[in-house]
Structure 1
Amino acid sequence: MTRLHVHTREIEPHRPATIARAVHFTLLRDGREEQLRNGAGVIYAPAAVGSDWRMQPQVLDDPRLTRRPKDWLLTVAISRTGEPEETSRRVGYRSQDLLEWDGPHPAAPFDESGTNTVDIDDATAAALEAKFGRIRSVAVDVDDSGPLSERGATIRYSDGSSRRAKVDWDAPALGRASGAIRIQDHAFPFIADRADPHILEYDGRWLFVATPDAGRGNEQTPELFIRAADTIEGLPAAPDHTIARVGDAGIGGCFWAPELHTIAGELRILFAPSIGTASWDGVQCHIMTLRPGGNPLDQGDWSAPAPVLTADGHPLRADERYGISLDMTYVPGDGGGHYVWSQRVVQDGYIGDAELWIAGVDPTDATRLRDEPRRLHTGRYSWELTDTNVVEGPFPLLSDDRLHLAYAAAAVGPHYATGWLSASTSDDPGDPSSWSVQPFPALDSASVPGQWGPGHISFFRHAGDTMMAFHAKIDPDETARHTGIRRVHWAHNGLPVLDMTPEEDLHPDLRVVTTLIEGPS
Structure 2
Amino acid sequence: MTDQVTINPIVLQRADPCVLRHEGTYYFTGSHPRYDRIVLRRADRLEDLQAAEEVTVWTKHATGPQSQLIWAPEIHRVDGAWYIYYAAAPVDHGTVDAPSENETFNHRIFVLENTAEDPFDGEWVERGQVDTGWESFALDATSVVIDGAQYLVWAQQDLTVRGHSNLYIARMSTPWTLATPAVELTRPEFDWEIEGFWVNEGPSVLVRGGRVFLTYSGAATGVDYAMGVLTADADADLLDPASWTKSAQPVFVSDPSVGQYGPGHNSFTETPDGDAVLVYHARTYTEISGDPLWDPNRHARAQVLPFDADGSPLWGTPVPDTRPTPTSTEVLPADGAF
Does structure 2 conserve the Cα–Cα contact (< 8 Å) formed by 1:448 and 1:499? no
TM-score (norm 2): 0.82
The CA distance in 1 between the partners of 2:240 and 2:256, in whole Å, is 32
**Helix, strand or coil for the counterpart of 1:460?**
strand
> Paired residue for 1:257, among 72, 93, 113?
72
Map 1:370-519; keep pairs closer than 5 Å. 370-446=179-255, 449-464=258-273, 465-478=275-288, 479=295, 480-499=297-316
Q: Name the residue aligned to 1:353.
A: 164
| Structure 1 position 333, deviation (Å) | 1.9
The aligned residue for residue 290 of structure 1 is 114
Q: Any idea what the Cα deviations from partners look like across 1:238-270, whole Å, max 9, x if unmatched?
A: 122111112179421222111111223322111
TM-score normalised to structure 1 length = 0.54
In the alignment, what sits opposite 2:100? none
Mapped to 1, the partners of 2:127 and 2:36 lie a distance apart of 14
The unaligned stretches of length 5 or more in structure 1 are: 1-163, 166-182, 311-315, 504-521
DSSP 3-state at the match of 2:188: coil
2:258 is paired with a residue whose SS is coil
Change (3 A) 1:184 1:387: same
Structure 2: gaps of 5 or more residues: 95-103, 289-294, 321-338
Letter in 2 for 1:485: A
Q: In the alignment, which residue of structure 1 is the partner of 2:98?
A: none
State whether residues 258 and 318 of structure 2, in contact with CA within 8 Å, keep that contact through their aligned partners in structure 1: no
Q: Does 1:275 pair with 2:90?
A: yes
Q: Counterpart of 1:394 in structure 2: which amino acid?
A: P
Is the Cα contact below 8 Å between 1:208 and 1:235 reproduced in 2?
yes
* Aligned with residue 225 of structure 1, among 35, 39, 45: 39
Alignment correspondent of 1:186: 6
Asked if the contact 1:340–1:359 (Cα under 8 Å) also holds between the matched residues in 2, the reply is: yes
1:325 to 2:148 alignment: no
Question: C-alpha separation between the residues in 2 aligned to 1:239 and 1:260?
Answer: 17
Within 2, Cα distance between the matches of 1:249 and 1:434? 42
Q: Which amino acid aligns with 2:137?
A: I
Q: 1:243 aligns with which of 54, 57, 71?
A: 57
Distance 1:289 1:492, change over 3 A: same
Distance verdict in 2 for CA 1:398–1:212, change over 3 Å: same
Partner residue in 2 for 1:341: 154
Aligned residue in 2 for 1:303: 125
The within-5 A match list for 1:176-215 is 183-213=3-33
CA-to-aligned-CA distance 1:35-81 (integer Å, 9 cap, x gap): xxxxxxxxxxxxxxxxxxxxxxxxxxxxxxxxxxxxxxxxxxxxxxx
In the alignment, which residue of structure 2 is the partner of 1:179?
Answer: none
Q: Quickly say closer, same or farther: Cα 1:434–1:483, change in 2 above 3 A.
A: same
Provide the C-alpha distance between the structure 2 equivalents of 1:333 and 1:231, rounded to a whole number of angstroms. 26
DSSP-derived class of the 2:245 partner: strand
Matched AA of 1:342: A
Distance 1:448 1:390, change over 3 A: farther
Contact 1:186 1:485 (8 Å CA) reproduced: no
Taking the aligned partners of 2:175 and 2:220, their CA distance within structure 1 comes to 30
Q: Per-residue displacement from partner, 1:80-111 (whole Å, max 9, x unpaired)?
A: xxxxxxxxxxxxxxxxxxxxxxxxxxxxxxxx
For the residue of structure 2 that corresponds to 1:397, the secondary structure is strand
Q: Which has the larger radius of gyration?
A: 1
Tell me how far 1:276 sits from its aligned partner: 4.7
CA distance in 2, matches of 1:440, 1:448: 20
- Kept in 1: contact 2:5–2:46 (CA 8 A): no
Letter matched to residue 233 of structure 1: E
The 1:444/1:502 distance shift into structure 2, 3 A limit, reads closer
* 3-state DSSP of counterpart to 2:193: helix
Residues 1:385 and 1:461: Cα distance change in structure 2 (over 3 Å) = same
Equivalent residue letter for 1:291: T
Q: What displacement does 1:425 show? A: 1.4
Change (3 A) 1:249 1:184: farther
Which position in structure 1 is the counterpart of 2:97? none
Structure 2 Cα separation of the partners of residues 187 and 271 of structure 1: 28
Provide the C-alpha distance between the structure 2 equivalents of 1:266 and 1:240, rounded to a whole number of angstroms: 21
Asked if 2 retains the 8 angstrom alpha-carbon contact of 1:223 and 1:253, the reply is no
Q: Secondary structure at the match of 2:157?
A: strand
Say whether the 8 Å CA contact 2:10–2:46 is kept in structure 1.
no
Name the CA shift for 1:261/1:242 in 2 (closer, same or farther; >3 Å).
same
